[in-house]
Structures are given as structure tokens and as C-alpha cells.
A and B are shown apart, each in its own frame.
Chain A
Amino acid sequence: DGGITQSPKYLFRKEGQNVTLSCEQNLNHDAMYWYRQDPGQGLRLIYYSQIVNDFQKGDIAEGYSVSREKKESFPLTVTSAQKNPTAFYLCASSIGRTNNYGYTFGSGTRLTVV
């Protein structure tokens, strides 16, 4: 079955550490996205990529980095520069800029700073 796989489901980070969240899709979608979800707030866009080897900053990119070396993969690194990283992170993909089904989401990674 096609879909998006995020790993790990839960991740704990110590202060000052970088951590990388994995996102893999086998839907042959061109575009991929990373969102952050906090209680009481809408999903906020961190980074997005419309095509391989290209990505753009979203609304809250500071303290995060991404790469898009393969169409299937869009890993997100949460760096030590991100001061409040505890959140639920969602990866999504779409066929292109517009389609009638919006985005397909992964099941998320819950990151906690300890």
C-alpha cells in the first residue's frame, strides 16, 4: 500500500542536541512538507519541497534544516538553535501544487526535550 512513513513515533532530545526526523513516501508525489502542531494552534509550515534538490522555508523555519536528495525522502533536522522544539511533527506530500485531495499525511513524530 502507498503512503507516508514517519519515524520514530516518539523521540526524546537532550538540550543542545540535533535530532533528525525521517519521512519517506512511496506515492510518487513531487511535493513534500513539514508541519509542526502545538496544542491550540493550527499546523504551521516549517519547510516544503516542490521537487528533488529544491526546498523552501515555510513560516517557522528557524532552528530547522531539511534535505531533498531523493523524491521519496524529506528528512527534518531539529537543531540546537530551535529553542522550543517540543511538539508533534507531521510530514505530508502532494501530487503537485493543486489537487482535489490536498495533502497525504504521515502519522507524526512526537518530539520531547528532556
Chain B
Amino acid sequence: GQNIDQPTEMTATEGAIVQINCTYQTSGFNGLFWYQQHAGEAPTFLSYNVLDGLEEKGRFSSFLSRSKGYSYLLLKELQMKDSASYLCAVLPNDYKLSFGAGTTVTVRA
């Protein structure tokens, strides 16, 4: 089976920066995705990494190190609307997306 670990919860202040780490051990690797999910809603796509390095997209950035089986999602200039669950997902050799349990981020005023 696939093993994807990420912290359960994180809390930060509005305007601050938060980094959500994700480590994985999977049968092969064809890319890593980050999704945002507000309570009771559909997950929405944030980023995709397949090569090592940093991908920046506005206030959100995602980093990948394939040799370490490690990724992080960086959220800058936090806003109240960023309070949500963030899901790390890996596409292994069977091409069925496998998800971590999600990290709930709470942004405080």
C-alpha cells in the first residue's frame, strides 16, 4: 500500500506564513498534488509537482524532493479564507491517486 503522512492540525495568525509538510512512501511516483478542501465541500486543485524544486503560484508555493520523498505547501500572507483542510496526494505506478489524511489549518485574527 501507499503511505502518505502530513500533520493533523496547524494554527497560524492572519498575515503570517505556514508550511505544511508531506512525506510519502509509494510504489512508484508520477507526481504529487496539493488540494484545498473547505468543510463539507469538494477538494479543489492547488498545485502539481513532478520534478524536484519549487513551484510558485501567487500566495501558494509547493516544493518537491523526490529523493527524500518529501513535499511542502507554503501559504504566505494568510487570510481568514485560507482556513481549510489541505490534502497531499501522490500518483503512484498504478495511476490511482492516493491521499494523506489532510492537515486542518486554522487562521486566527
Which A residues are closer than 8 A to B by beta carbons? 4, 33, 35, 40-43, 45, 48, 58-59, 88, 90, 97-98, 100-108, 110
Contact = CB atoms under 8 A, between A and B. Distances in A.
A102 B96 contact: no
B96 A45 contact: yes
Nearest to A90: B42
Contact of A41 (B30, B33, B95, B101): B101
A108 B8 contact: no
A42 B45 contact: no
B41 A108 contact: yes
A45 B2 CA distance: 12
Name which of A40, A101, A102, A107 has the most chain B CB atoms within 10 A of its CB.
A102
Contacts of A98: 30-31, 91, 95
Interface residues of B, number: 25
What 8 A-B pairs have minimum CB-CB distances, sorted nearest first? A42-B99, A105-B42, A43-B99, A97-B95, A102-B33, A42-B101, A107-B42, A100-B48
B78 interface: no
Contacts, number: 55
Given A43-B87, A98-B31, A106 B96 contact: no
Determine which residue in A35, A103, A104, A106 has the highest number of CB atoms from chain B within 10 A of its CB, and name it: A103
A86 to B, nearest CB: 15
B40 A108 contact: yes
Contact of A102 (B4, B89, B100): B89
Contact of A105 (B30, B40, B43, B102): B43
A6 B96 CA distance: 21
Interface in B70-109: 87, 89, 91, 95-102
B60 interface: no
A101 B48 contact: yes
Contact of B48 (A48, A58, A102): A102
Contacts of B45: 101-102, 104
Nearest to A40: B101
Nearest to B8: A40
21 contacts: A40-B8, A42-B4, A42-B99, A42-B102, A43-B43, A43-B89, A43-B99, A48-B96, A58-B96, A90-B42, A98-B31, A98-B95, A100-B31, A100-B48, A102-B45, A102-B89, A102-B97, A103-B97, A105-B42, A105-B44, A108-B40
